[in-house]
């Protein structure tokens, strides 16, 4: 899941999906950062030049529609199941939503950022989940909270570096995401809802660090044991990432994240797609 397949794609869409299938992916959420389509033409040209990427899509409404039409073509393949979506910066939950753009997606992931006022933590995650619950009343699609744990690690390490501290000086307490009681509240909020927490590919490199591993276990395993639903994702952007081995089993087993935890979203998305197909047939019978 979580395959960036829009403006940031380094090769053609078919080649990009081929790489994911070769890596063993059977289900993908093909998506893009929604805010990229808010650039002006001048900003877009400068961004393409800076990133060294081809121009795949225009900006604005036209670009959003073109992207989603392109991503829908992935459904024609017989070697992977794909759902089209957006990754949306969490700040849009505070500043206002692009409901028209969101309506084009089958699934939406909310980008938890390391660049907010404070490092991502249990209190901010609870705030976002409450906001997402309200958004889903208007936009009733499955939603994912993208990479909250790894974004905390990134921010904590960056802050420590600015303070002149070495990574080896950081403790489990520094890295811990939740304060007492927050996990129980999150379990309560998520029960019976179509909201998922992502464990991203970068967890792989964290797992080999004993301090990070202990923090991950303390933060995630109680959620998994309590039945919280997850996605396990590659979050591929570039070719180097797409061509490196993806082996989530090595950390998911320890965290208690099982296929039963992660397959719920697939069943849900397939059921929603089937329901839309029936509705479309009834509205436009042959």
Does residue 32 lie in a domain region? Answer: no
Residue 23 confidence (pLDDT): 83
Residue 281 confidence (pLDDT): 55
Q: Which residues of the chain have pLDDT under 70?
A: 280-286
d(CA 160, CA 267): 42
Does residue 72 lie in a domain region? Answer: no
Does residue 204 lie in a domain region? Answer: yes
Does residue 37 lie in a domain region? Answer: no
pLDDT tens profile 184-209: 999 999 999 999 999 988 898 899 99
Residue 185 confidence (pLDDT): 98
CATH number assigned to the domain comprising residue 211: 3.20.20
Does residue 225 lie in a domain region? Answer: yes
pTM score > 0.85 for this model? yes
Residue 217 confidence (pLDDT): 97
Residue 282 confidence (pLDDT): 65
Residue 284 confidence (pLDDT): 66
Does residue 77 lie in a domain region? Answer: no
Does residue 2 lie in a domain region? Answer: no
Domain ranges, residue 250: 85-283
Total domain count, the chain: 1
Residue 231 confidence (pLDDT): 94
pLDDT tens profile 45-78: 999 999 999 999 999 999 999 999 999 999 999 9
Does residue 69 lie in a domain region? Answer: no
């Amino acid at each position: 899941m979580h395959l960036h397949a829009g403006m940031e794609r380094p090769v053609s869409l078919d080649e990009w999906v081929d790489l994911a299938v070769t890596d063993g992916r059977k289900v993908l959420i093909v998506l893009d950062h929604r805010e990229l389509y808010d650039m002006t033409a001048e900003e877009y040209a400068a961004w393409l030049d800076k990133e060294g990427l081809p121009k795949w899509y225009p900006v604005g409404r036209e670009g959003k529609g073109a992207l989603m039409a392109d991503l829908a073509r992935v459904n024609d393949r017989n070697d992977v199941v794909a759902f089209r979506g957006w990754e949306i910066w969490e700040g849009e939950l505070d500043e206002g939503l692009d409901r028209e753009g969101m309506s084009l997606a089958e699934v939406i992931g909310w980008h938890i950022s390391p660049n907010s006022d404070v490092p991502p933590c249990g209190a901010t995650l609870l705030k976002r989940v409450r906001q997402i619950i309200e958004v889903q009343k208007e936009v009733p699609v499955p939603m994912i909270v993208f990479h909250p744990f790894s974004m905390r690690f990134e921010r904590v390490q960056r802050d420590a570096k600015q303070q002149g501290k070495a990574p080896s000086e950081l403790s489990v307490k520094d890295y811990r995401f939740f304060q007492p009681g927050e996990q129980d509240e999150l379990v309560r909020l998520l029960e019976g809802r179509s909201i998922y927490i992502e464990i991203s590919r970068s967890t792989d490199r964290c797992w080999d660090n004993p301090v990070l591993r202990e923090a991950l276990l303390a933060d995630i395993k109680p959620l998994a044991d309590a039945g919280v639903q997850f996605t396990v994702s590659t979050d591929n952007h570039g070719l180097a990432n797409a061509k490196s081995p993806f082996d989530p089993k090595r950390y998911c087993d320890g965290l208690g994240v099982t296929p039963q935890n992660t397959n719920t979203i697939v069943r849900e998305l397939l059921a929603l797609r089937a329901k839309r197909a029936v509705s479309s047939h009834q509205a436009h019978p042959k």
